Structure 1
């Protein structure tokens, strides 16, 4: 990630240079740190957290301390995603192993 020297906002890549999302200032890419950057284009499927409707939860960790609101089954697959600020607890997304019902839990 590269930040603007003018205002401190996060920059994005555009036409081979970095452009500030807030003030529009342009800088050359920080090539020295470019190897450390990770984008969704280079991440493997195992690194991504899928929480949308068609996500495959099977094979993910299992929670046996939950109860499905729809069928009452006591086991569900789950994934964890940071949906709020970094100082807030993450959200757990569940899929019932019996009926497939999906829900989320905020800690």
Structure 2
């Protein structure tokens, strides 16, 4: 017994138009030349595969924390533990004509503070 490969869209062998699926009669009918093409039995089970890929950013977060702790330091009192040394980094979080946002990290307890300048 020969095995047929059947996939849609299927094209008419006469005029190369896309034929429509008409499984009630067992044929596909071409809308242009009206040729009836025999259709094999079809399995009505729909199968698909869904793959989601996420990067493992735990290493990136750990390296960012270490870089903040060993980055530029400034004398600034932590509101949580009272330690007087913090590291900081700046980022442009708003439009270019506004000031930078400064992120402070306490070197003792890890508390984070934000200052919009």
Pairwise TM-score range, normalised by the shorter structure:
0.3 to 0.5
Under a length normalisation based on structure 2, what TM-score does the superposition of the two structures give?
0.43
| Structure with more helix by fraction | 2
Larger radius of gyration, structure 1 or 2?
A: 2
Under a length normalisation based on structure 1, what TM-score does the superposition of the two structures give?
0.46
